[in-house]
């Protein structure tokens, strides 16, 4: 986040000026500070949205004490609040923190570094808490595993379909969905031309995307493995909105033990919405500089999307006997490596010819073994 939009709720002009000055001294980020000098004005401003953090003085002309915090929190629970207190109301601040405020800072003991750090930590902590809460509230049976390439063509779909197959072989009910706006490679990789696919769902109001609608479009590909294919024809090309993506993944997640989401190798709104619902996201990279550089940007974007570090892991697919060491990849991307898939070009081509995942074509191949291990890791808690 390069610009942090701060709502400073402070009636004392001297204190407000001091805080503005401190924030303007910070070099790493820019703080865009807007001020409200009354609780009422702050609530109005929050209702308009676009605030990243509130700096809140509890004693205002139109509200005092915990009530001030409670009103702000009720208005915008998604926005983190850092309290500004005097020495004498630190007890009150501690109580407010118990009720959901992110932190408190004692006026007169502040400097710009401390203030900036408190604001940034508050934003990060709050985001993680909100995400955990949303996750816990989601009522559904199964896990959602996302697969996204650092860029196109790195082997993402191959990994996704083999993980799906491995889990189906373990007697889990699995749905694999190709969440993309144009033809992907589920059809050739699974040797199947579906009569129905995801495209016709996009004509529905997202609120009508439910189990019944999905069932008519799912293909029972193998025991335990159902597949929702992406669009197949040129005239079926259509962007997927975030609402549609969310509705599709939520409904699928209620229908299977594991939902495998194959995402395109470029970011889009549909992927962003789907990823918010993923328990784990495998970012697929090849062990070479261009792919790793794309991976770094993708990870940065995921962070900006609020996807926590615990969710994302790397799957390294070494399609062409490349030699970049794993330690280099790890140090450049700073992310857990879930697994490495060794070169399997001939086996992949032969599997594709047969229209089956590598895992079925040649289960003893080292790549198949590592894909099974990756599947196991992704569903382990
Ligand atoms: N371990 C491997 N060794 C050699 N070739 C592989 C390996 N894994 C996948 N491939 C091959 O790489 C090619 C691209 O794979 P795949 O379609 O899975 O990539 P993708 O990232 O999903 O591509 P797209 O961006 O088009 O969706 C395919 O021909 C596939 O058979
Ligand atoms: Mg693909």
Residues 58 and 196 in one domain: no
Q: Which residue has the higher pLDDT, 115 or 94?
A: 115
Q: Is the pLDDT of residue 140 over 60?
A: no
Instruction: Provide DSSP, 222-287.
Output: ETTEEEE----SGGG--PPPHHHHHHHHHHHHTTSSEEEEE--SS--HHHHHHHTT-SEEEEEE-S
String of b and e for 174-200 (b: at least 16 CB within 10 Å)? bbbbbbbbebbbbbebbeeebeebbbe
Same domain, 63 and 121: yes
pLDDT for position 165:
98
Residues 105 and 183 in one domain: no
Regarding whether 323 and 245 lie in a shared domain, the answer is yes
146, 152, 155: residue to mutate for ligand 1 pocket, most atoms within 8 A of CB = 155
Domain stop point among 80, 113, 135 = 135
Within this chain, do residues 271 and 374 fall inside the same structural domain, yes or no? yes
SS3 of residue 242 by DSSP: helix
What is residue 350's predicted lDDT score, i.e. its pLDDT? 98
User: What pLDDT score does 88 carry?
Assistant: 75
Q: In a mutational test of the pocket of ligand 1, which residue from 154, 158, 160, 284 has the highest number of ligand atoms less than 8 Å from its CB?
A: 158
Closest C-alpha residue for ligand 1 atom 31: 348
- The predicted-structure confidence for 310-360, as pLDDT tens digits, reads as follows 899 999 999 998 889 999 999 999 999 999 999 999 999 999 999 999 999
**CATH classification at residue 88:** 3.40.50.2300
pLDDT for the residue numbered 127: 86
Both 291 and 160 in one domain: the answer is: yes
Q: How far apart are the first and last CA of the chain?
A: 31
312 phi/psi in degrees, rounded to 5: -90, 135
Statement to judge: residues 267 and 373 lie in one domain: yes
Contact 289, 311 (CB under 8 A): no
Tokens at 73, concatenated: 């929190």
Do 175 and 283 share a structural domain? yes
pLDDT of 134:
66
Residue whose pair of structure tokens reads 């009508």 in the numeric block? 208
Domain around 359: 138-379
pTM higher than 0.85: no
- Residue 141's pLDDT is 65
Report which ligand 1 atom has the smallest distance to the Cα of 158: 18
Structural domain count, the chain = 2
CATH number at residue 224: 3.40.50.300
Boundary-marking domain end, from 135, 166, 183: 135
For ligand 1, whether the C-beta of 348 sits within 6 Å is yes
Taking a C-beta distance cutoff of 8 angstroms, is the pair 279, 249 a contact? Answer: no
Q: Is the CB of 345 under 6 A from ligand 1?
A: yes
> pLDDT, tens digit, for every residue of 214-244?
999 999 999 899 999 999 999 999 999 999 9
* 261 has pLDDT over 90: yes
Decide whether any atom of ligand 1 lies within 6 Å of the 149 Cβ. yes
Position 1 scores a pLDDT of 55
Domain match, 302 and 233 both = yes
Q: Are residues 190 and 93 in the same domain?
A: no
Q: Which of 135, 160, 181 is the last residue of a domain?
A: 135
Averaged confidence pLDDT in the chain? 93
């Amino acid at each position: 986040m390069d610009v942090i939009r701060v709502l400073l709720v402070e009636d004392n002009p001297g204190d407000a000026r001091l805080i503005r000055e401190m924030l303007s001294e910070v070099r790493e980020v820019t703080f865009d500070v807007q001020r409200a000098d009354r609780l009422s004005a702050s609530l109005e401003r929050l209702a308009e949205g676009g605030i990243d953090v509130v700096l809140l003085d509890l004693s205002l002309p139109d509200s005092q004490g915990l009530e001030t915090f409670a009103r702000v929190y009720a208005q915008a629970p998604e926005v983190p609040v850092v309290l500004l207190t005097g020495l004498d109301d630190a007890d009150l601040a501690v109580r407010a923190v118990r009720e959901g405020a992110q932190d408190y800072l004692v006026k007169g003991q502040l400097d710009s570094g401390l203030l900036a750090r408190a604001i940034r930590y508050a934003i990060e902590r709050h985001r993680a808490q909100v995400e955990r809460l949303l996750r816990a509230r989601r009522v559904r049976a199964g896990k959602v595993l996302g697969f996204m390439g650092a860029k196109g063509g790195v082997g993402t779909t191959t990994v996704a379909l083999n993980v799906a197959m491995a889990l189906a072989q373990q007697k889990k009910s699995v749905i694999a969905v190709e969440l993309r706006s144009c033809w992907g490679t589920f059809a050739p990789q699974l040797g199947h031309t579906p009569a129905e696919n995801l495209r016709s769902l996009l004509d529905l109001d997202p609120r009508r995307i439910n189990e019944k609608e999905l069932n008519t479009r799912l293909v029972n590909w193998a025991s335990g493995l159902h597949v929702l294919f992406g669009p197949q024809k040129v005239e079926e090309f259509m962007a997927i909105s975030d609402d549609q993506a969310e509705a599709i993944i939520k409904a699928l997640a209620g229908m299977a033990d594991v939902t495998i989401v194959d995402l395109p190798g470029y970011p889009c709104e549909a992927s962003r919405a789907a990823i918010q619902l993923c328990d784990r996201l495998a970012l697929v990279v090849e062990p070479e500089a261009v792919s790793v550089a794309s991976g770094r940007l993708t990870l940065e974007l995921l962070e900006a999307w609020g996807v926590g570090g615990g969710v994302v892991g790397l799957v390294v697919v070494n399609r062409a006997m490349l030699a970049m060491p794993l330690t280099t990849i790890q140090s450049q991307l700073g992310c857990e490596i879930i697994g490495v898939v060794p070169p399997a070009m001939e086996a992949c081509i032969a599997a594709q010819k047969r229209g089956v995942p590598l895992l079925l074509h040649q289960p003893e191949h080292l790549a198949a073994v590592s894909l099974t291990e990756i599947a196991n890791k992704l569903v382990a808690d």
